[in-house]
């Protein structure tokens, strides 16, 4: 994860979650945002990475479930980057974390380390408490510290708690107590602390955005490829259809199949139901 941060032009110190779209653009990964709610009590997917060939060119898509909280959306993208870098091919991640799966556990570790390197976390702990162990620190103090980390690094609360435990910064008892807290209850203890820490950022991170869209650069790439005759009309229609857009939106009169327009959405929903 550290190597990838440096390769993308980031050192250990700066938070990079706010640059996640820029990172995807650098890697030429197309982001597709689709809100899909939980159905029949089954965990919805968090994100899916799809690799395909279009017009002789390799394309990589990340389908992101924006019905999830924003901080988990950022984490899910970082999680999928692990699968992109390790070339594990098309892959779907669910909201339940799947920590019993070795590959998924590695991807979760990569995401946490990519967004907040361990060395930086330990340094922040020492700067704040003049110790690498927080065994004697009260829960209320820990919650305030976690809220500040949360608003700066955009890592989900539970991921931060787990990181503190994995680095032996907090004890098993502290971990269990912190993990039992409902971090999404805005009127709960952590919710009140978070809103008092950095209200705008905290509320953004703890809101399900439910956006439906795509990377602006991705659409421009598709348009340029069509205009340069690198892809044919069928491919042009199919690619735009994946983003719920049509050639007519950009001044091109080409007939569009509804099946093509729904291809990506149906693929993800079908995988979500069958997986």
In angstroms, the CA 79 to CA 108 distance is: 6
Q: What is the pLDDT of residue 92?
A: 65
Does 145 lie in the same domain as 98?
Answer: no
In angstroms, the CA 193 to CA 191 distance is: 5
Q: How many helices (H) and strands (E) in the chain? A: 13, 5
Does 275 lie in the same domain as 219?
Answer: yes
Does 88 lie in the same domain as 221?
Answer: yes
Torsion of CA 141, 118, 177, 99, to 10 degrees: 160
Is residue 47 a contact partner of residue 76, using CB atoms and an 8 Å limit?
yes
Is residue 198 a contact partner of residue 22, using CB atoms and an 8 Å limit?
no
pLDDT tens-digit profile of 89-98? 665 666 555 5
- The closest alpha carbon to 35, from 61, 59, 69, belongs to 69
In angstroms, the CA 80 to CA 104 distance is: 10
- The closest alpha carbon to 150, from 164, 171, 136, belongs to 164
Does 264 lie in the same domain as 128?
Answer: no
Does 74 lie in the same domain as 50?
Answer: yes
Torsion of CA 77, 81, 84, 87, to 10 degrees: -130
The pLDDT mean for the chain works out to 87
Torsion of CA 138, 176, 45, 240, to 10 degrees: 20
Does 181 lie in the same domain as 50?
Answer: no
Does 220 lie in the same domain as 195?
Answer: no
Does 257 lie in the same domain as 125?
Answer: no
Choosing from 207, 238, 266, the residue where a domain stops is 207
CA angle 196, 201, 205 (to 5 degrees): 110
Choosing from 207, 241, 259, the residue where a domain stops is 207
Domain of 42, in residue numbers: 1-115+215-275
Q: Name the domain count of the chain.
A: 2
pLDDT tens-digit profile of 121-150? 999 999 999 999 999 999 999 999 999 999
Of 101 and 156, the structure prediction assigns the larger pLDDT to 156
Does 109 lie in the same domain as 137?
Answer: no
Give DSSP secondary structure letters for 142-205. Answer: HHHHHHHHHHHH---HHHHHHHHHHTTSS-HHHHHHHHTS-TT-TTSHHHHHHHHHHHHHHHHH
pTM here is 0.81
Does 102 lie in the same domain as 3?
Answer: yes
H or E element in which residue 65 lies: strand 57-65
* 256 — pLDDT class (breaks 50, 70, 90): very low
Is pLDDT at 221 greater than 50 in this prediction?
A: yes
Is pLDDT at 55 greater than 90 in this prediction?
A: no
Q: Which two tokens stand for residue 10?
A: 């980031």
Choosing from 167, 191, 207, the residue where a domain stops is 207
Burial of 17 (0-12, 13-18, 19+ CB in 10 A): buried
Is pLDDT at 238 greater than 70 in this prediction?
A: yes
Does 109 lie in the same domain as 53?
Answer: yes
Does 226 lie in the same domain as 138?
Answer: no
In angstroms, the CA 250 to CA 261 distance is: 15
């Amino acid at each position: 994860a550290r190597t990838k941060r440096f390769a993308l032009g980031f050192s250990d110190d700066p938070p990079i979650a706010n640059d996640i779209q820029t990172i995807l653009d650098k890697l030429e990964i197309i982001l597709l945002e689709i809100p899909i709610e939980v159905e029949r009590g089954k965990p919805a997917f968090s994100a899916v990475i799809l690799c395909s060939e279009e017009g002789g060119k390799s394309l990589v898509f990340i389908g992101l479930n924006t019905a999830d909280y924003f901080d988990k959306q950022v984490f899910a993208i970082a999680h999928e980057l692990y699968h992109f870098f390790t070339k594990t091919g098309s892959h779907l991640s669910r909201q339940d974390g799947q920590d019993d799966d070795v590959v998924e556990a590695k991807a979760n570790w990569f995401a946490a380390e990519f967004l907040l390197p361990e060395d930086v976390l330990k340094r922040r702990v020492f700067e704040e408490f003049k110790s690498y162990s927080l065994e004697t620190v009260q829960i209320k103090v820990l919650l305030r510290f976690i809220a500040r980390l949360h608003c700066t690094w955009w890592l989900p609360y539970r991921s931060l708690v787990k990181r503190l435990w994995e680095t032996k910064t907090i004890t098993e008892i502290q971990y269990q107590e912190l993990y039992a807290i409902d971090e999404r209850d805005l009127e709960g203890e952590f919710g009140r602390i978070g809103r008092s820490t950095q209200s705008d950022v905290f509320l953004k991170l703890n809101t399900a955005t439910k956006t439906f869209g795509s990377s602006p650069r991705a659409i421009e790439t598709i348009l340029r490829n069509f205009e340069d005759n690198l892809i044919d009309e069928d491919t042009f229609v199919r690619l735009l259809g994946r983003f719920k857009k049509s050639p007519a939106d950009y001044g091109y009169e080409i007939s569009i199949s509804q099946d093509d327009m729904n291809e990506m959405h149906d693929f993800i929903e079908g995988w979500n139901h069958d997986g």
